């Protein structure tokens, strides 16, 4: 039984309860949720310590200091530092899905001020891609097309798993999160792309500390803490290091307790998602 099947059962529970017993459908779903975990096909970075990385995504990626900027600075603050120089680039179109990006132009050497091809391209897509069958199909189509263009230039693809919206967003509490999870694992595994589990880190941070503010007034875009958490997940995923203890705090904008909390959530999430421990490596 998939998570989407479970969601459908919950909607039908009042009618089913009369036939099967009030607790049966809920118990089945609870057991399924407890036992089911994401299973990515790619569990190690396809490129070791990439220095030329391109990020494609809308305002969810450039909000609150920018994901690319935070990852770049976190890498430079690591021990030992990772010197990325000018290899990190990002391209953003407000409100866009992948279909609005000219991928062949963007990944071709000589464009974006980059003489050599990108080693890794991180695709963020749109947070509503999984909402409808048509948008999900378009996301899948574009990931397949983009992956072919990226591989043609010698690079590899990573998919940024965006977090679900929270209140007061109109889709807070809907099945969008479950739909996105199913889409990410399905499309990521089909294309052998690296899946970066930012959404799972958000979910875990909210579980551990319900009052943490990871999304701004619209319930969708990240706060500084939310973007820092996303950057910590990306850093841990791409560089196979735990972010715990990394001193980067956006020049004092994050207090020490918050920084360490977010770093630990990111480290734990990445370890559990890929099912191997990176905590023993220096930050």
225: Cβ contacts below 8 Å, ≥ 6 apart: 212, 213, 214, 254, 258, 262
CATH number at residue 252: 3.40.50.1110
Cα→Cα distances 262→202, 267, 270, Å: 9, 9, 12
Give the structural domain span for 12: 1-36
My answer on whether 26 and 154 are in the same domain is no
Q: Give the number of domains in the chain.
A: 2
Cα→Cα distances 193→46, 47, 97, 186, 238, Å: 8, 11, 18, 10, 13
138 within 8 A of 146, measured Cβ to Cβ: no
Residue among 164, 160, 282 at smallest CA distance from 214: 164
CA–CA separation, 18 and 22 (whole Å): 7
My answer on whether 23 and 51 are in the same domain is no
My answer on whether 76 and 183 are in the same domain is yes
**Whole-number pLDDT of residue 277:** 56
CA–CA separation, 183 and 42 (whole Å): 15
Residue pLDDT, tens place only, 154-211: 999 999 999 999 999 999 999 999 999 999 999 999 999 999 999 999 999 999 999 9
**Whole-number pLDDT of residue 95:** 93
**Phi, psi of 251, rounded to the nearest 5 degrees:** 60, 45
Cα→Cα distances 226→46, 112, 136, 187, Å: 26, 27, 25, 25
Helix or strand or coil: residue 160?
strand
Strands 53-56, 194-196: pairing is unpaired
CA–CA separation, 217 and 224 (whole Å): 13
234 within 8 A of 273, measured Cβ to Cβ: no
Residue pLDDT, tens place only, 113-138: 989 999 999 999 999 999 999 999 99
Cβ atoms < 10 Å from Cβ of 133:
9
Q: What is the pTM of this model?
A: 0.86
My answer on whether 196 and 84 are in the same domain is yes
My answer on whether 143 and 194 are in the same domain is yes
CA–CA separation, 227 and 249 (whole Å): 12
Would you say residue 280 lies in a domain? no
176 within 8 A of 138, measured Cβ to Cβ: no
73 has a pLDDT exceeding 70: yes
My answer on whether 26 and 112 are in the same domain is no
| For range 14-36, the mean pLDDT | 42
């Amino acid at each position: 039984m998939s998570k989407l099947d479970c969601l459908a059962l919950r909607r039908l529970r009042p009618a089913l309860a009369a036939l099967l017993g009030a607790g049966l459908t809920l118990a089945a779903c609870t057991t399924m949720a407890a036992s089911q975990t994401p299973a990515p096909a790619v569990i190690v970075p396809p490129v070791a310590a990439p220095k030329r990385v391109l990020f494609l995504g809308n305002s969810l990626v450039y909000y609150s200091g920018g994901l690319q900027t935070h990852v770049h600075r976190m890498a430079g603050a690591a021990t030992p530092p990772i010197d990325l120089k000018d290899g990190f680039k990002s391209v953003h179109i407000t409100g866009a899905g992948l279909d609005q990006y000219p991928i062949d132009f963007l990944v071709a050497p000589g464009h974006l001020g980059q003489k050599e091809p990108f080693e890794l391209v991180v695709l963020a897509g749109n947070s509503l891609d999984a909402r409808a069958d048509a948008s999900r199909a378009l996301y899948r189509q574009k990931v397949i097309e983009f992956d072919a263009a990226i591989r043609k230039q010698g690079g590899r693809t990573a998919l940024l798993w965006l977090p679900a919206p929270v209140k007061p967003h109109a889709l807070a509490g809907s099945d969008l999160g479950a739909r996105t999870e199913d889409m990410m694992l399905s499309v990521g595994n089909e294309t052998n792309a690296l899946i970066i589990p930012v959404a799972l880190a958000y979910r875990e941070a909210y579980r551990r500390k319900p009052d943490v503010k990871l999304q701004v007034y619209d319930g969708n875009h990240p706060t500084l803490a939310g973007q820092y958490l996303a950057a910590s997940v990306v850093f841990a995923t791409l560089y196979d290091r735990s972010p715990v203890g990394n001193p980067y705090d956006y020049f004092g904008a994050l207090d020490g307790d918050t920084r360490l909390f977010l770093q630990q959530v990111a480290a734990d999430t990445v370890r559990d998602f890929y099912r191997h421990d990176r905590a023993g490596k220096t930050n």
